[in-house]
C-alpha cells in the first residue's frame, strides 16, 4: 500500500512532471541566463507546469479577446477567501486593497506612502537583494538589522535599527520579509506581535512583503502581519506569483490595515491601471481554484527539503543548512569549505551549477549561496553531486 501511495503522490507532484529537455525549451530568465551545460538553481522560477485552473482561465480570456485593462474586485475577493481557508484570517477587507503591477513595485508604492526621499527603510539582512535595489531607486536609504545566529528576527537588533532610522525625528519604515527570503524562516504570531509593538513605540511604519505566504510546509502556519495586535497601521503586499509560478503574469495587491486606509487612498491611479488584466485573471484563478495543485506542490517541496539535507549530509557535510518552513529556497552556509565570500562562483565555474551568491543579500550573506528547491529531485541530486565534485576537484 505504501508503494501505491508513494506512486500516487509522485504522479501528482508538479515538480516531477517536466523533463530537463522540456524545461530547456523555456525562454524565461532561469533557462536563458546560462549555457545548457549549467543546472540553473538560482532565480525564483519553479520547474513546474502551470496549475490547470490558471491555464484554463488565461486560455479562456485570450479566446474571448479579454486583454484590456483590469476592473472589478474578483482578485481581492479570491485572496480574502483563500486567506480565510488557508490561514484562518478573515480580516482582509476588499475595500482596503489596491492593484499594483507586482509585489516589489507595490513595496515602492507603500514606502512612498509612509516615507519621503532620504528617509530610512529598515531591512533584516541577509534578505532578498531587490530590497536594496528598489529602495535605493526610490530615493530611500537602507538601515540593516541583521538576523540572529538562529536566522530568526533579533528584536534587540531591530529596536536599535529603529532608533537609528528615526534619528532626527524623520519618518521611517520597516520592510518586513515574511516568510523570510532567503532563509525560509516562518515568523511566529508572537514575533510579529512584538514587531508591531516595537514599530508602534518607535513610530516606524511596517510594509510587509508576504509574497511567499502560500508556500508553507512541515505543519507550519503562515501568520499575516495585518492579523496581529498592533499592526492596524501596517501595509502588506500579496500575490500568487511565488505559490503558482506566475512571475510572468504580473499582478499583486497592496493591502492596508484599518488605520492605514487613508494612506491606501493615495496610491496613484497609474499603479493600478498598469497592472496586467491577464495577470489579474491568472492570480484570481490560482487563489480561487488552485489549492489542490498548491497542496501537491508543497508536499513535493517538503520531500525536496529532506532530500537536500540528506544529500548534503552525505556529500558535503561541511555545508550548514537549516531547512525552513516556507518558500522553496535553501540558504546554504558554505564558509567551512574555504571558498571565500563567493562560493557560488566556484560552484558555477567548476561544477556548472548556478546558485545565487550570498553576498548579494547584504550583511551576513558572504560565504553563503541560495539554492532553488523547486525542481525535480533528480536535478537536486545531480546538483549536489556537481557541487561536491567542484569542492573535491
CATH number at residue 265: 3.40.640.10
| Count of domains for the chain | 2
360 part of a folded domain: yes
- Same domain? 308 vs 263: no
Query: Which domain range does residue 351 map to?
Result: 2-51+292-392
Which of 234, 254, 289 is where one domain is finished? 289
Closest CA relative to residue 111, chosen from 151, 77, 90, 138: 138
Distance from C-alpha of 184 to C-alpha of 389, rounded to nearest angstrom: 27
- Same domain? 37 vs 75: no
pLDDT reported for residue 8: 54
pLDDT in tens, 280-294: 999 999 999 999 999
pLDDT reported for residue 350: 98
pLDDT exceeds 80 at position 223:
yes
pLDDT reported for residue 62: 98
pLDDT reported for residue 7: 54
Give the residue-averaged pLDDT of 114-129.
Answer: 98
Give all strands (DSSP E) within the chain, no chain letters: 39-40, 97-100, 120-123, 141-144, 172-177, 204-209, 235-238, 252-256, 320-321, 329-333, 353-354, 356-357, 368-372
Q: Residue 364: which region, alpha, beta or left (left: phi > 0; alpha: psi -120 to 50)?
A: left
Q: How confident is the model at residue 393 (pLDDT cuts 50, 70, 90)?
A: confident
Give the residue-averaged pLDDT of 161-180.
Answer: 97
Which of 245, 270, 289 is where one domain is finished? 289
Kindly report the length of the chain.
Answer: 393
pLDDT reported for residue 10: 74
- Please give, one letter per residue, the 3-state secondary structure of 182-227: CCCCCCCHHHHHHHHHHHHHHCEEEEEECCCCCCECCCCCCCCHHH
- Same domain? 139 vs 153: yes
pLDDT exceeds 60 at position 3:
no
pLDDT in tens, 297-356: 999 999 999 999 999 999 999 999 999 999 999 999 999 999 999 999 999 999 999 999
Closest CA relative to residue 361, chosen from 341, 381, 383, 376: 341
pLDDT exceeds 80 at position 392:
yes
- Give yes or no for a contact between 257 and 234, defined as CB atoms under 8 angstroms apart: yes
Distance from C-alpha of 116 to C-alpha of 87, rounded to nearest angstrom: 34
- Same domain? 274 vs 374: no
Distance from C-alpha of 372 to C-alpha of 306, rounded to nearest angstrom: 14
- Same domain? 331 vs 308: yes
Q: How confident is the model at residue 272 (pLDDT cuts 50, 70, 90)?
A: confident
Average pLDDT value for the chain: 96
57 part of a folded domain: no
| DSSP letters spanning 82-141 | HHHHHH------GGGEEEESSHHHHHHHHHHHH--TT-EEEE-SS--THHHHHHHHTT-E
CA angle 137, 355, 209 (to 5 degrees): 40
Give the residue-averaged pLDDT of 129-137.
Answer: 98
- Same domain? 311 vs 255: no
- Give yes or no for a contact between 215 and 238, defined as CB atoms under 8 angstroms apart: no
Amino acid at each position: 500500500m505504501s508503494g501505491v501511495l508513494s506512486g500516487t503522490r509522485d504522479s501528482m507532484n508538479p515538480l516531477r512532471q517536466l523533463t530537463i529537455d522540456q524545461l530547456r525549451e523555456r525562454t524565461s530568465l532561469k533557462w536563458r541566463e546560462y549555457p545548457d551545460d549549467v543546472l540553473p538553481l538560482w532565480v525564483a522560477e519553479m520547474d513546474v507546469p502551470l496549475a490547470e485552473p490558471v491555464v484554463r482561465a488565461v486560455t479562456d480570456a485570450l479566446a474571448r479577446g479579454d486583454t484590456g485593462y483590469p476592473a472589478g474586485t474578483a482578485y481581492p475577493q479570491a485572496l480574502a477567501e483563500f486567506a480565510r481557508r488557508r490561514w484562518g484570517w478573515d480580516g482582509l477587507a476588499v475595500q482596503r486593497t489596491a492593484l499594483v503591477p507586482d509585489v516589489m513595485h507595490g513595496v515602492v508604492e507603500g514606502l512612498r506612502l509612509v516615507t519621503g526621499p532620504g528617509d530610512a527603510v529598515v531591512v533584516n539582512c541577509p534578505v532578498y537583494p531587490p530590497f536594496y535595489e528598489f529602495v535605493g531607486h526610490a530615493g530611500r536609504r537602507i538601515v540593516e538589522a541583521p538576523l540572529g545566529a538562529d536566522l530568526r528576527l533579533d528584536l534587540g537588533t531591530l529596536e536599535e535599527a529603529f532608533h537609528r532610522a528615526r534619528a532626527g525625528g524623520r519618518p521611517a519604515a520597516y520592510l518586513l520579509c515574511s516568510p523570510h527570503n532567503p532563509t525560509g524562516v516562518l515568523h511566529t504570531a508572537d514575533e510579529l506581535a512584538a514587531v508591531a509593538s516595537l514599530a508602534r513605540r518607535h513610530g516606524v511604519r511596517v510594509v510587509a512583503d508576504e509574497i511567499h505566504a502560500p508556500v508553507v510546509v512541515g505543519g507550519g502556519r503562515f501568520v499575516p502581519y495585518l492579523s496581529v495586535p498592533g499592526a492596524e497601521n501596517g501595509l502588506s503586499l500579496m500575490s500568487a506569483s511565488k505559490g503558482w509560478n506566475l512571475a510572468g503574469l504580473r499582478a499583486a495587491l497592496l493591502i492596508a490595515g484599518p488605520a492605514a486606509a487613508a494612506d491606501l487612498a493615495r496610491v496613484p491611479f497609474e499603479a493600478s491601471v498598469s497592472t496586467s488584466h491577464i495577470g489579474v485573471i491568472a492570480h484570481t484563478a490560482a487563489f480561487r481554484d488552485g489549492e489542490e495543485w498548491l497542496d501537491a506542490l508543497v508536499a513535493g517541496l517538503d520531500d525536496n527539503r529532506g532530500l537536500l539535507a540528506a544529500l548534503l549530509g552525505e556529500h558535503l557535510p561541511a555545508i550548514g543548512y537549516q531547512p525552513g518552513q516556507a518558500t522553496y529556497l535553501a540558504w546554504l552556509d558554505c564558509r567551512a569549505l574555504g571558498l571565500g565570500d563567493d562560493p557560488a562562483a566556484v560552484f558555477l565555474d567548476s561544477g556548472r551549477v548556478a546558485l545565487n551568491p550570498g553576498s548579494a543579500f547584504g550583511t551576513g550573506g558572504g560565504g553563503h549561496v541560495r539554492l532553488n528547491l523547486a525542481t525535480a529531485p533528480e536535478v537536486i541530486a545531480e546538483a549536489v553531486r556537481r557541487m561536491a565534485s567542484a569542492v573535491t576537484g
